[in-house]
A and B are shown apart, each in its own frame.
Chain A
C-alpha cells in the first residue's frame, strides 16, 4: 500500500472526538509539577482554557452551570494545565507490521500510525511533549519529546515514510528505550507483540518500563486476517519476517486451533499487563481505529 501524506493520518473527525479527552498520567509523574497534572479537574492551580459544547459522555461535573443559566446551553469547561507529562510513542516497524491481509486494506503500521497520530495530537494539544521511537530488529528513528505543534508533523512524517522491515526484536528494543528515557512519562507502544523471543521477554521489557515508573499503554494491533483467519484453502504460509520454513496447512482445518492460540496469546498479554498496571488495548484493522481508541480513552478518563 502506498504511503500516505503525514497529514492524512490526522482525521478531523477523530481529532474532534479525541480533543475532548485529556490524557492524564495514572501515576505520579517525576518532577515538581507532577501533582499539577493530575489536579486540574479538582480546581487547584489550573488555568481555564475555554468552553466547549457538551457532548454525550462528558462528565456532568464539568458543565458550567453559570453559563447554562445565561445561555440555556450546556458547555463544559476546559482547563489548560501546566504539565511535564512526557509521552513516548514507540512504534514497531518490523516486517510483520507491514502486513495487510486483504488487498487494499491498511497495514498494521498504517493503523498504528493513525493511532499514534491521534495520541500525539492529544499530548501536544494538552501541551505535553511527545517523542517517537521506531524499532524493528533494532532502533530505527528517535525523536525527542517536544510539545510544539510542528513536532506532530515531524512524528507523522517519520511514520509515514517508514518502510516496515526486519524481524521483531521488541523486548530488546524496549529495554534499550527504557534506558534511554530520562524521566518518567507515558509510553505508548504500538505493536503486534509478535516477538520471536517470546511473550515472557516482552513482558519483562514492559515490566522494565513500569519499573522505571512509566505509565505504559500497549496497543496490540492485529490485521483482520490474523484475527479471524478467514482462509479457505490449503495454504502455504511463509513468514513475512523471513523465517526459512514455510508451513503448508489446510486453513479451514486449523482455523479453530489457530484462533484458540491467538486468543490465548491475547489473554496472556491482557492478564499480564493488568497485573503490571499496564493498559492493554487489543485492536485489529478490520474496525475503524477510532472505535477502540475512543472506547479506551473513555474507559481511561472515566477512572
Chain B
C-alpha cells in the first residue's frame, strides 16, 4: 500500500488527543455520605467490568476515528483485490453496527449506518471507461543523461526529445500506475527510487534534468531499474522504459563486460531510441604538456589528439589560454579519424594558468568536448646538485643522483623526474643563483660558507626544496644547522647532526611512514627491496620529538633515522643520513627502489603533485600544502560565478589541524562539469589567497556520436526482453495496458467507514451515559391524595395547635 500524501500520516499522532481528553475528562469524584452502601457495593461489583469495557470501546472507537482520518487524508492506494476485500469488510462492519443500533432502538444511528452502506455500495470499485483507456502497471523510466544526449537534433536535443516522450507517457498513465525514475550516467541516480503514484514528482524531476558531460553505464542503469521493480512490485505488469540514443561507446562497454545478473524479475524493457541516424562530432580528445609546471615567460608546446568532424576535410584547431586564443592550426586529417597536433604557446607570467584545445566548427553538441588543461608557470624545473669538489667525474654521490634523475647527458633536457639537473662542485651560493633552481641537492658536498647557508635558508623558506645527503665526508659545520643548534637558522635541518659511524652488522631499511608521499606511490616490490637493502654506514642524526614539523620517513632496522623530512616556511627539506654511494649502502645498486624513492622525493620537493586527476562524476581528494586559516576552500566551477565552500575535515587532518602546518586534504564531491575548476584558500598569515586549478575533461568516447546497431544493442541487453522503438506508441507492451491491476484510492471508502465509526461511537457513548433513572424507579402502588406535599418537603417551622 502506498500513500499519495504520506506526510499526513503524521496526523496519526493526533490519536493521543482522545486519550488525553479521556484522561482529562475523568471528573474528580464528588464525595457523598450515603447510607445504602451495601447496594452500591453489590452494583459496583456487577457493573464495573462492563463499564470499563464500554469506556474502552468508546475510547478505542475515538482513537480509530482519529487514526482513520489521518490515514484517509494520506490518500492510501491499494490494489483492486485488497480494495474489494476492504470494501466488503467495511460493509459487513457497518451492517453489523446498524443492526446493533436497530436492536437498541437507535433508529437515527441505524439509518445513518444504512446510508453509509448505500454509499459504499455505490462507490464500489468499478472499471470506468477512462480507467480502462489509461495505462496501468509499474514503470521505471530510465533517462540516458550522458553527454551524447545533448546532441542537437532538428527538434531539440536528444535529451529534450526523450523528456518530451517521457512526459507524454506520464500523461497517459492511470492514477493507479506507479512510476520510478532513474537518471543514468556512469552512476544510476535513482531520482525517484521507489515505484510511486506521485507522477507529479517524476514530472518535476524530469523537467529539472539536463544532459551531463559524463558517459553511460548501461548495465548499471538496467540493474538499478530491475532492483526497483523487484523491491516494490506487488503484482504483475512491470516495464522498464529506457530513453537513450544507443551510443556505441556505451553498448560496447556492456558487451565487453560479463553479462550482469538480471535477477528474477520478469520486467519488459522498452528501449526508446531518440537518436537520428547520421550524427557526427569532432572533439579534442586529449592533450599532453611536457610538465604541469612550465617556466614562466617562455614557450611551451601541447601535443593534442583531435578527432576532426570529417576525416576528409581540413579541421581548425584552436588553443585558448586564460580565455585568450593564443594559437591555432589547420589540420589535414588525410583520412585518419584521429590526428595529432602540436600547438606552441607562451607560458605567461608566473602563476597558475588554464587552457583548452577547441575545434570551433565541429559539431552540434552543446557540451562540446574541448580538452582542458591547467599548468603553473614559475621557477624553471631545474635541480642543482652540489657535490664535493673533484668528484664530478668519479662515482661519487652526485654521479648516482644525476644518473637517477637525468639519465641523458644534456643539461637542459628534461629527465625522468621532469627536472633538468645541473651538477656543480660546492661553492658560494647566493639568492640570485638559487632562484634559477627549484630543487637544490647537497650530495655530501663538504663545507658551505655561512652566507651560502643563509641564502639556502632564505630560498627554502620561500618555497624551495632542499635535499641534503650526508655521508662520510660530511663537514662538521652541518651540525650547526640542526633544529636546535642554531637559533638563527631556526633549525633548517630536521635533527641534530652527529658524526658518521659504521653499522656492524649492516642494517636493512625499515619504512617508518608508508603513507608519506615519498613512499605512497611505491609498489610492494619497491618496499620489499628497501627492506632487503643493507646499509653499512650512516651519519648519526638525532631527531627532536618536540619538533612537530619534522618526521622520520625511513630508518634502519635498529631505528636509526635514514630519511627525515622537515617543513620549512613554504618549502621543504629532506635529509638522508646515508650517502648515495656503494661505499655506504647497496641503495644505488637497487635501481628500481632507489630511482622510485629519489624521483618521488624530488617531485615532492619541486612541488609537483603527481597523479591528481579528477574524473567526471566521481569525487576526488584535493591536497593543499597548508591548512586554510578559516578552514575552508572555495571551489569555483566553470561558468558558475558563485563559489562552493568546501570544509577541511579536521577529523581526517588531525595532525595538521593541531599544528596548523603541513598539507591537508579536502574531499571534493563528484564533479559533473568538464572544464577548469579553481580551488582557492587562505593560508595563515598569507597576504593573498593561494589557488589551484584543476582541468576536468569529458571522456573521449562520449562525444563520438556513433550509434550502435540494433542487433548489438539488443545483444547488450539480451538477458531482458528488450524491444527497440522510436516512440512509445509503437510499443505493444505498453499499449496493451501492461496487465497491471487497477488500484484505487481508498480515501472515500475510509471516510465513509469513519463516519460509521463515529456514529458507533456516539451510539455507544449515548448508551453508556444514558440516564436510566426514569425507567428504573420503583412503581408506586398506592395512590392517595395528600394535602401536605409542598409542606413536608420543607419542614415548616410554624407551630400547630393540633397537639394541644
Contacts and interface: CB of A to CB of B under 8 A. Distances in A.
Interface residues of B, number: 54
A266 B778 contact: yes
Contacts of A1: 795
B110 to A, nearest CB: 23
Contacts of A290: 784, 786-788, 792
B407 to A, nearest CB: 103
Nearest to A262: B39
B257 interface: no
B766 to A, nearest CB: 12
Contact of A295 (B41, B784, B797): B784
Contacts of A6: 803
Interface centre among A105, A258, A265 (most CB of B within 10 A): A258
B40 interface: yes
| Chain A interface size range | 35 or more
Interface in A106-122: 106, 110, 114, 121
A233 B771 CA distance: 11
B278 interface: no
A8 B796 contact: yes
A261 interface: yes
Interface stretch (A10-18, A78-86, A206-214): A10-18
Interface in A252-293: 252-263, 265-266, 287-292
Contact of B782 (A5, A10, A223, A295): A295
A127 B136 CA distance: 106
A110 to B, nearest CB: 7
A230 B773 contact: yes
Nearest to A96: B35
Interface string B555-587: 000000000000000000000000000000000
A227 B780 CA distance: 12
A7 B799 contact: yes
B532 to A, nearest CB: 92
Contacts of A291: 782, 784-786
B35 A252 contact: no
A248 to B, nearest CB: 5
B787 to A, nearest CB: 5
A10 B773 contact: no
Interface in B760-804: 768-773, 776-778, 780, 782, 784-789, 791-804
Interface string A144-181: 00000000110010000000000000000000000000
B35 A233 contact: no
Given A194-B38, A256-B772, A236 B32 contact: yes
A10 B800 contact: yes
Interface string B31-44: 11111111111111
B800 A12 contact: yes
A294 B784 contact: yes
Nearest to A196: B38
B786 A253 contact: no
A283 to B, nearest CB: 10
B46 interface: yes
Given A247-B37, A291-B786, A261 B43 contact: yes
A54 interface: no
Interface in B1-60: 26-44, 46-48, 51
A30 interface: no
B34 A254 contact: no
Given A234-B26, A252-B770, A253-B768, A12 B33 contact: no
A105 B48 CA distance: 31
Contacts of B769: 252
Contacts of A289: 788, 792
A55 interface: no
Interface stretch (A21-29, A41-49, A69-77, A237-245): A237-245
Contact of B29 (A156, A234, A255, A263): A234
A231 interface: yes
Nearest to A239: B37
Given A106-B795, A261-B42, A262-B39, A235 B789 contact: no
B802 A10 contact: yes
Contact of B36 (A114, A262, A288): A262
Contact of A265 (B35, B39, B788, B800): B39
A22 B39 CA distance: 37
Contacts of B802: 7, 10-12, 15
A62 interface: no
Given A257-B43, A288-B789, A295-B784, A243 B37 contact: yes
A236 B30 CA distance: 5
A288 B30 contact: no
B770 to A, nearest CB: 7
A292 B782 CA distance: 7
B803 A7 contact: yes
Given A263-B778, A291-B782, A258 B35 contact: no
B50 to A, nearest CB: 8
Contact of B31 (A99, A236, A298): A236
B23 to A, nearest CB: 14
A259 B771 CA distance: 13
Nearest to A15: B802
A298 B794 CA distance: 26
Contacts of B31: 235-236, 238, 246
Given A234-B27, A238-B32, A240-B34, A110 B782 contact: no
A303 to B, nearest CB: 15
7 contacts: A6-B803, A110-B795, A247-B37, A255-B773, A288-B788, A290-B787, A291-B786
Interface of A: 1, 4-8, 10-15, 95-96, 99, 104-106, 110, 114, 121, 152-153, 156, 192, 194, 196, 222-223, 225-241, 243, 246-250, 252-263, 265-266, 287-292, 294-295, 298
Given A226-B35, A234-B29, 6 more contacts: A7-B802, A227-B777, A257-B43, A257-B46, A290-B784, A295-B784
**7 nearest A-B residue pairs (beta carbon):** A257-B43, A96-B35, A12-B802, A236-B29, A295-B782, A10-B803, A288-B788
